[in-house]
Structure 1
Amino acid sequence: MPVSPLLVVTRLLRCLSIGLLLPCVPTGALAQQLASPRDTSFTVHSAYVKAKKQHPDISIARPPVPRGVRAQTKLTYCTPGSRALQLDVFYPKAKRRQQFPAVLLIHGGGWRSGDRSQHVPLAQQLAGRGFVAVTAEYRLSTEAPYPAAVQDLKAAIRWMRANARTYAIDTTRVAVWGFSAGGQLAALIGSTNGNSLFEAGSCHRPHSSAVQAIVDVDGILAFLHPESGEGNDSKSTSAATYWFGSNKLTRPDLWQQASALSYVGAGTPPMLFINSGVDRMHAGRDDMMRQLTALGIYTEVHSFPEAPHPFPLFNPWFQPTLEYTVNFLNKVFPRR
């Protein structure tokens, strides 16, 4: 029986009035009735138009595809419910018995916008440098709340290992790279190796979702932190509040749970941080680096103080971002 739209609105307004979203999110047939359209507010073009106002000399990074790079696109890696999640693979031609380190690339967009195509240029360049690079989509907050995105991306890593022979992936050298919200996800994924909370579904479960290196590009490390700007709902509902389904006063446990800084330990992989001059985009970074250093875990940071937040998408920052990434991965993944 169809549900009254007035009843739905009344329920949602009541939940919003007390700062609680998650228990009021419609499910099943009702969710399909009220499914939100895809949020396309964050694109390379929209970010370029905005950034160009302060940086008139920038250009969108579209370098030539290196010779010998192969690609397989629109591959389904997992199907939670009826949702087919897809990824693209960019890889070099392998000689007999040759294996390459692999990198999962995660796009940003405030956990509710963006798409995997935004890092195809970087994936192509990494493949040209001897890496298998995978760009994966994940369920955004318009589809499913936290921790669905984390669980999806861990499934993508399991898919990479399940298909290691096809793409000549060295399963002992897998890294995760992310920008903005993708950087937050990359840091959380890498710092929660083996944590059952973030594993879900049956997709490729015999395989590990653990990673051996993390590259966080302007992604927050701690939500409930003096440096964090996330969760300010005074003017409008923040991206993080949408993602968690509740504000930070109502469910601080979720906000803490999604912070990579909460999980630093002896098993945390080496980490590279690449940052703009927008400090709130890497809240908790210095605390995390101090803890990693105290544990003897390799970490390094590179900053572009003059750069806008979406700097890795644009020249002149694309190439140095690529170089910092490659140099770091070659350091922590010695070639065999």
Structure 2
Amino acid sequence: MKKIIIFISLLPILAYAQINRDTSFTIRSAYEKVKKDYPFVKPAEIKTEGLKIFKNIVYYKEGERKLALDLFMPESPKTKLPLIVIVHGGGWRSGHKEMEHPIASRIAQKNYITATVEYRLSTEALYPAAILDVKRAVCWLKKNSGAYKIDTTKIVLMGMSAGGQIAAMAALSDNVEKLSVRECNINAAALIDIDGVFDMTTPSESGKDTIPSKPSAAKQWLGFTYKEKPDLWVEASPLEYVDRASPPMLFVNSSLPRFHAGRDEAIDILNEHGIYSEVYTIENTPHPFWLFHPWQERVVDWVDGFLKKTLN
């Protein structure tokens, strides 16, 4: 018997007409760049077999602005399942939650619940708005865990590129007042960083602002260059918050050293405190490798293997 896939759309998101959006980073634009050097790759596709998919669930509203998430889960879970909250990339100013539907669906088929989250980009709100948005999404999911069979003791944050930095900041900053929300603490059981920078002060990130008329993506998000406010760039670095209370971490990286910044230092701190970590660097890969076949399948297998070790 063919399984029925259920698509449910709840309250729609506010129309985006009044929000200045940068649409430069999409799967199509990334593919056009990547295929020149990697002609064998293909954009990964959404997998729907055996899944229920809930789209555009509003998790937070401020005035007329609504933020939403999309949820992927097995059709008939027998027990509560771990939740993986996925934060898309795009230089803090572009990208969208739908970009991560393929990887979210593939992971959900491994018997997890996954959520791709909308957050305010730098064209709408500066740091730390994106981090607070992700935290509110997690809190909404925890509050509504019964309706979606979520095991609230197994909340995992996962992000790609700028989303990896945001996910890491959300997972590691429960005790940071500026980065806290009144709704709840995250209490992340694990963190998965896919090519997200852990140290924003590294020259490959902080040294870009040499031409005032061409601000870096990080400057546009933080509001200041590194020279203008170095303490702010330190504050926005996940490495600053890695300590004995940190969750196990999985790092999956491209071959580009820029996106490894702070990773090894974070692992050293984890090792000092006996906290488990794994790291994979895929040779000869472009930055947005996780969006494409054949690399996405490898990422999903690593995520599944890591979580089976750490959540159990």
The normalised TM-score by structure 1 is 0.84
Contact persistence 2:122–2:220 (CA under 8 A)? yes
Determine whether 1:213 maps to 2:213: no
Aligned to 1:229: 205
Mapped partners of 2:206, 2:62: distance in 1: 28
Mapped partners of 1:208, 1:163: distance in 2: 15
Aligned to 2:270: 292
Map 1:121-160; keep pairs closer than 5 Å. 121-160=102-141
Mapped partners of 1:192, 1:147: distance in 2: 12
Question: Sequence identity, in percent?
Answer: 40
Output the amino acid matched with 2:271.
T
Q: Which entry has the higher C-alpha Rg, 1 or 2? A: 1
Contact persistence 1:178–1:219 (CA under 8 A)? yes
Name the SS of the counterpart of 1:175 in structure 2.
strand
Aligned to 1:62: 45
- Taking only aligned residues, the RMSD between alpha carbons, in angstroms, comes to 1.4
Task: Give CA-to-partner distance per residue, 1:28-73, whole Å, 9 cap, x none.
Answer: xxxxxxx6620001000000000111111111011532x3200111
Aligned to 1:306: 284
Mapped partners of 2:267, 2:98: distance in 1: 30
Mapped partners of 1:76, 1:95: distance in 2: 23
Name which of 88, 92, 110 aligns with 1:107.
Answer: 88
Determine whether 1:72 maps to 2:54: yes
Determine whether 1:262 maps to 2:240: yes
Task: Give CA-to-partner distance per residue, 1:86-121, whole Å, 9 cap, x none.
Answer: 10111113455x100000000000000000001101
Aligned to 2:305: 327
Moved over 4 A (4+): none
Task: Give CA-to-partner distance per residue, 1:207-229, whole Å, 9 cap, x none.
Answer: 43221100000000011125x33
Unaligned runs of 5+ in 2: 1-17
Name which of 32, 48, 61 aligns with 1:49.
Answer: 32
Name the SS of the counterpart of 1:112 in structure 2.
coil
Task: Give CA-to-partner distance per residue, 1:289-320, whole Å, 9 cap, x none.
Answer: 11111111101101112000000000110100
Name which of 153, 161, 165 aligns with 1:172.
Answer: 153
Mapped partners of 1:188, 1:277: distance in 2: 23
Shift in alpha-carbon separation, 1:234–1:56, aligned structure 2, 3 A: same
Name which of 143, 163, 170 aligns with 1:182.
Answer: 163
Output the amino acid matched with 1:99.
K
Determine whether 1:37 maps to 2:20: yes
Mapped partners of 2:304, 2:20: distance in 1: 37
Output the amino acid matched with 1:136.
V
Contact persistence 2:91–2:217 (CA under 8 A)? yes
Shift in alpha-carbon separation, 1:110–1:230, aligned structure 2, 3 A: farther
Contact persistence 2:193–2:251 (CA under 8 A)? yes
Mapped partners of 2:47, 2:80: distance in 1: 24
Name which of 160, 173, 191 aligns with 1:192.
Answer: 173
1:233 Cα offset (Å): 1.8
1:166 Cα offset (Å): 0.6
Mapped partners of 1:314, 1:148: distance in 2: 29
Contact persistence 2:206–2:225 (CA under 8 A)? no
Unaligned runs of 5+ in 1: 1-34
Mapped partners of 2:36, 2:120: distance in 1: 31
User: How many residue pairs were aligned?
Assistant: 293
Output the amino acid matched with 2:28.
H
